[in-house]
Structure 1
Amino acid sequence: MKKFHLLFLIAFIFAACSKDSDNNQDEAAFENLNDQTTVAIETTIPRMEISQSGNNITILLSVTDQDGTPLEQFTLGNYTIKVYVNGDDAETIAQNKIVLSEFEQLNNKPLAAATTMDYSGSMGYYDKLEMEEALRNFIGLKNSNDLMSIIKFASTIEEVQPFTTDATLLDAAIDLKPGIGFSTAFYSACDLGLDQVNKLSNVLPVVIGFTDGYDNSSNINLDDLIDKSKNLVIPIYTVGFGGTDEDGLQYLADETGGRYFYAPTNEDISNLYQLISQQLRKLYVLDWSASYSTGTELTIEITTEYTSANGSFTSTSTKSIIIQ
């Protein structure tokens, strides 16, 4: 009888340990072998939030295919998260410490887009007409509760229409022709957009630069603009026209969590608003507890993997912040 009890106890312990082991197993990555369209994935981190005490980190991650269409149904198994503290070796965050959710289900805030329009001498006459028509189409796509502003720039900058939900006012502002010179203060226009959209509350803030990308008249340089965007956690999307500085516009968008679009025709711009709206709303939220003191510099590196019918694809995004 004692032997039976001992064997039963051993079996019970083994079963319990096996159950615990199963519960601690990492979640399998989502894959879709029926997905015939995805041939690459792109990720950005539009927002990163850290509690004032530095004990909780929240990452909002955009995951799309090569065309900017959000990819859904991902699990924790699709992600590897590493944290570099003050530049030291990386710590990999265990899956069982991370909470994954979808931003769209948690948030219905309106989009607030500060848009810049380039009237500098480097923009040709037809480039400007194309930009104006593109922005009209862009306005026509917005939801009724979404806000937009219009900032026009050349040598100087003028906010011709402050933030409003009124599409009629926005459309009328496109026709205003302010006397703002011929040089290009693109970075300063984006800087003003960051300041203005940052004053709003309960919105999804974004700056969208309609421009050829060349700058020679700003009072802020590219690196400082990028640092400001990162500190405010407001992405900058760039839309190029004419003879575009593609490398510069791509770099600005990539570094701030936005995307770059080359839009030479109205057709190319027609779905831009919907794309940006989806990318800011259809986000994955990755949340975990931490313990970092004021002044600590954190670099978060998220590697995303996904397998479609066309193969396995990987994208890595990073975001840095100093705990205040």
Structure 2
Amino acid sequence: MFCKNCGSPLDDNASFCGNCGAKLSPKSKKKHSPVKYVLLILALLLVCGGLYATVGLNLRKNNLMSKIEESKIDEYVTAGKRLNSQWDKLGITDFSDKNDLLKDFKAVNKNVSDFQSCSKEVKTMQEEKANYDLAHENYEEYEKLLSDCADAIKEKDASGALELFQEVKQSFSDLKAANDDYIDDRIDTYENLDLKDAKDKVKTSYDKNLSKIHELAKSEDRDYQALQKAFNSMDQAIFMYIEPKNPLEVTVQQVDASEFPKVKLYVNLKDPATQKVPDNLDKTLFYINKEDANQKYIKQVVTSVNQLNEKESLKINMVADVSGSMDGAPLAEAKNIMTNFINSVQFDAGDLVELTSFSTGVRLEQEFCNDPNVLTNDISALYTSDMTSLYDALYTAVERVATQTGARCVIAFTDGNDNYSSCTVQDVINVAKRYHVPVFIIGIGSINSNDISQITAQTGGAYYNINTVDSMQNIYDQIYQMEKELYLVEFEDSTGATVKDTAQIEAGYHSLEYGGKCSYSYTPNVLLNPNSTSIYQDGPEAVVEKYLKNFPQAVTNSDFSLIADCMKQGSAIYTEQEKYVKRSIDETLDSYEIVDTQYNGDSSCVISTRETYYVQVQGKALQLMTQECKYSLEKAGNDWKMTSFVDLKVTSRIKQ
């Protein structure tokens, strides 16, 4: 500082000037600038704001991470943890980086939300998918994609599910467009039908159905199922005037008339272009026409249609060659293949399997059974012997399986030519055709296939030739699948025919997509086993049926009283059978058929039967014996009694 009076320098803290002695003014206090306080406050605010911002960002991040973890979707939880790890490495002031990470967290959360929405939509689409089954090829594609997407959702494959969901939505859009085209095509077809020769009833039904179809088609939100029902109703009314787009091969493989007048037809249908059974055939478009006594075809009421693979059972008699040439490795391989086949059979659907083997005679290894463990144990116990009784085995197997209700077949394999049977090729064909049993045979190696092919061709079966035993597996599976693809068509015979009358029928299917029919002739021969429900409740047939069921026990137990009341006392048959039951013979009735009844007036008749017994004569081998009998009966009052044998002929004896 300097003196204001003389300008001399002043000492610090001096009160007077050292040069002129002038009194100095008191030193004023130094003023402090407020800027530093403002800066301090701002710094504090920044620190507090930063802390607040960091806490807020953490809360948002934690909330997003919590939602990700709650989803329990591995790929999203993993992505969230990776982002969380990056977050933890950031400093308190790395706001920009944290905001970028929050965007990534939000993207993962959106994926979680999209997956959850996808899951809900797919569930709804699965519940409603059947409503859109009209254009079937497009529907199958949509259904497949929907199923794949649902599987991905179930496995929590989120990325895969979301990707598939886009395809599902596109497929759904394509399906609706295809459905609309299908509807327009059907309407165009109906409108251009030529019905000038149709009956008035058909024309009235046509007009009514077409009006309903037009009404449904005009709706902006088309009800596809209602339209499908309307199409079906129209097709049923005018199906004979529709030209199908594709031909259909139709064949009747077998008939079951054991509950006559209810008749069951087992029908094979194939697209000749693909040799496969078309999917989703409309069950309402099967038809049966049957010739009446005036040779006029009458439409029958079809009461039920089902594909065997859906709910109907199959009865199979497996016939195994255990002749000497099968010894060692061939039999071991055959056992393995038969066991694998048994494990593929639908026992839970009611399938039954019987095991028959043949060599020097025929052995019933296991009666019809639904226990795979029992059957596989019996297969394991098979052993070989010398000769080859193929025809006897086939005859026995047909007789056995023919007593079963429903679809049935014989599947046999052999590696050699028959050299020991008492039955002939024609015997096998006759019995199989009589009871409508298809016979499938697998020939192994270089065997004479002429006779075998004749059996399979005439019974509705098939012959397969393979070089080695290990090739049998695919054929077993193929035969089984072919039988399971049969359609069971049930109808009630309304022509007034009896169970013994030969029937001429037309069986077919007719729709806009497929059409075909076949003619078929059959006599509904019903082969029964002793445990079957009696089909005759009164009349002479009921007497003969009771006699047949009781006769084996009467012979085995030497108890004539079991059959005495079926015969006229003192008659020829009464006297003869009273002596016969005392012989040293064991008999077991295996099956029987009441073939025919010929009346001679109101009080006498002759009944023809076909009977098969297991017969054991003391000191001789067990035999399966089939005989054809004719019994004479007379009526006394209200009761019919057997009086004599008109004829008895043994048609076969098969060594067991």
In 2 relative to 1, CA 320–177 (structure 1 residues): closer, same or farther, beyond 3 Å? same
Pick the aligned partner of 2:523 from 318, 321, 324. 321
Q: Secondary structure at the match of 1:292?
A: coil
Deviation string, structure 1 residues 185-217 (Cα, Å, up to 9, x no partner): 1121122223333455x6643221122473232
For residue 116 of structure 1, report the CA deviation from its aligned partner: 0.6
Residue by residue over 1:147-187, the C-alpha shift from the partner in whole angstroms, topping out at 9 and shown as x without a partner, is 222211122111223333232332232333445322x2112
Aligned to 1:138: 341
The Cα of 1:75 is off from its aligned counterpart by 7.3
- Which deviates more from structure 2 when the two are superposed, residues 231-240 or residues 97-106? 97-106
Report the Cα distance in structure 1 between the residues aligned to 2:448 and 2:506, rounded to whole angstroms: 28
SS at match of 1:238: strand
Pair 1:247–1:283, CA change in 2 (3 A): farther
Among 236, 257, 264, the residue aligned to 1:49: 257
Distance 1:195 1:133 in 2: 27
Unaligned residue ranges in structure 1 (runs of 5+): 1-13, 34-39
Inter-CA distance 101–122: structure 2 relative to 1 (3 Å threshold): same
For residues 159 and 262 of structure 1, the distance between their equivalents in structure 2, rounded to whole angstroms, comes to 25
Counterpart Cα distance in 2 of 1:208 and 1:62 = 18
Inter-partner Cα distance in structure 2 for 1:119 and 1:185:
10
Shift of 1:114: 1.3
Q: 185, 189, 202: which one pairs with 2:389?
A: 185
> Residues 304 and 316 of structure 1 are in contact (CA less than 8 Å); yes or no, is this contact kept in structure 2?
no
Indicate conservation of the 8 Å contact 2:289/2:505, yes or no. yes
Bigger Cα displacement from structure 2, 261-270 vs 107-116: 261-270
| Residues 139, 264 of structure 1: alpha-carbon distance in 2 compared, 3 angstrom cutoff | farther
1:6-56 alpha-carbon deviations (Å, 9 max, x no partner):
xxxxxxxx98783168786444365459xxxxxx9473422243865xx66
Instruction: Rate the CA distance shift 1:19–1:275 in 2: closer, same or farther, 3 A.
Output: same
- Alpha carbons of 1:102 and 1:245: their partners in 2 closer, same or farther (altered >3 Å)? farther
Q: Distance in 1 between matches of 2:371 and 2:300?
A: 44
Does the aligned pair in 1 maintain the 2:366–2:378 contact within 8 Å?
A: yes
Partner of 1:18: 203
Alignment partner of 1:272 out of 459, 462, 476: 476
AA at the equivalent of 1:140: N
**Within the alignment, does 1:216 sit opposite 2:419 as a pair?**
yes
Matched to 1:190, the amino acid is: L
For 1:250, which of 447, 453, 458 is the aligned residue?
453
Native 8 Å contact 1:30 1:74 kept in 2: no
User: What is the match of residue 373 of structure 2?
Assistant: 168
* CA distance in 1: counterparts of 2:427 and 2:413, whole angstroms: 20
| Residue number among 253, 257, 266 corresponding to 1:60 in the alignment | 266
Partner in structure 2 of residue 5 of structure 1: none
Count of aligned pairs between the two proteins? 293
The Cα shift of 1:144 comes to 3.5
The answer on 1:226 being equivalent to 2:429 is yes
Return the alpha-carbon distance in structure 2 between the equivalents of residues 255 and 216 of structure 1.
Answer: 22
The 3 A distance-change label for structure 1 pair 228 and 315 is same
Which residue pairs with 1:70 in the alignment? 277
Separation (CA, whole Å) in 2 of partners of 1:246 and 1:313: 35
Q: Give the letter aligned to residue 167 of structure 1.
A: P
**Residue equivalent to 1:7:** none
Assess if the C-alpha contact under 8 Å between 1:44 and 1:254 holds in 2: no
1:231-260 CA deviation, whole Å, 9 max, x = no partner?
333332222322244443333233223333
- Give the 3 Å change call, closer, same or farther, for CA 217–260 of structure 1 in structure 2: same
In the superposition, relative to structure 1, how do residues 165 and 231 fare at CA in structure 2: closer, same or farther (>3 Å)? same
Unaligned ranges ≥5, structure 2: 1-198, 208-235, 526-594, 596-656
Displacement, 1:78?
A: 8.1
Partners of 2:353 and 2:370 within 8 A in 1: yes
Residue of structure 1 in register with 2:398 after alignment: 194
Query: How far apart, in 1, do the equivalents of 2:371 and 2:256 lie?
Result: 30
CA distance in structure 2 between the aligned counterparts of 1:17 and 1:305, rounded to whole angstroms: 16
TM-score normalized with structure 1 length: 0.67
Specify whether residues 121 and 51 from structure 1 end up closer, same or farther in structure 2 by C-alpha distance, changes over 3 A only. Answer: same
| Mean CA deviation greater in 136-145 or 150-159 | 136-145
**Matches for 1:110-125 after TM superposition, within 5 Å:** 110-120=313-323
Q: Per the alignment, in what secondary structure is the counterpart of residue 138 of structure 1?
A: helix
Alignment check: 8 A CA contact 2:256 2:524 kept = no
Structure 1 residue identity aligned to 2:451: G
Query: Secondary structure of 1:217's match?
Result: coil
Q: Any conservation in 2 of the 1:204–1:280 contact (CA below 8 Å)?
A: no
Q: Give the equivalent residue in structure 2 for 1:10.
A: none
CA distance in 2 between counterparts of 1:161 and 1:29 reads 50
- Paired residue secondary structure (1:289): coil
Decide whether aligned partners of structure 1 residues 246 and 109 sit closer, same or farther in structure 2, where only a CA change above 3 A counts.
Answer: same
User: Shift of residue 97 of structure 1?
Assistant: 4.0
Task: Compute the displacement of 1:115 (Å).
Answer: 0.6
Give 1:138 shift: 1.2
What residue identity is the alignment partner of 1:137?
A: N
SS in 1 for 2:378: helix
Q: Do structure 1's residue 154 and structure 2's residue 362 form an aligned pair?
A: no
Q: Structure 2 length as normaliser, TM-score?
A: 0.37
Cα distance in 2 for residues equivalent to 1:160 and 1:238: 19
- 8 Å contact from structure 1 (residues 155, 181) kept in 2: yes
Tell me, yes or no, if the aligned pair for 2:438 and 2:459 is still in contact at 8 Å. yes
Give 1 or 2: higher helix fraction: 2
**Please, which moves more after superposition, 287-296 or 252-261?**
287-296
Question: Structure 2 vs 1, CA of residues 169 and 126 (structure 1 numbering), >3 Å: closer, same or farther?
Answer: same
- 1:153 touches 1:185 (CA, 8 Å); kept in 2? yes
C-alpha spacing 1:157/1:50, structure 2 compared with 1 (3 Å): closer
1:36 match: none
> Offset of 1:117 from its aligned partner?
0.7
Give the number of the structure whose residues are more often strand, by fraction: 1
Larger radius of gyration: 2
CA distance in 2, matches of 1:140, 1:300: 38
**In structure 1, what is the Cα distance between the partners aligned to 2:390 and 2:275?**
25
Residue of structure 2 in register with 1:238 after alignment: 441
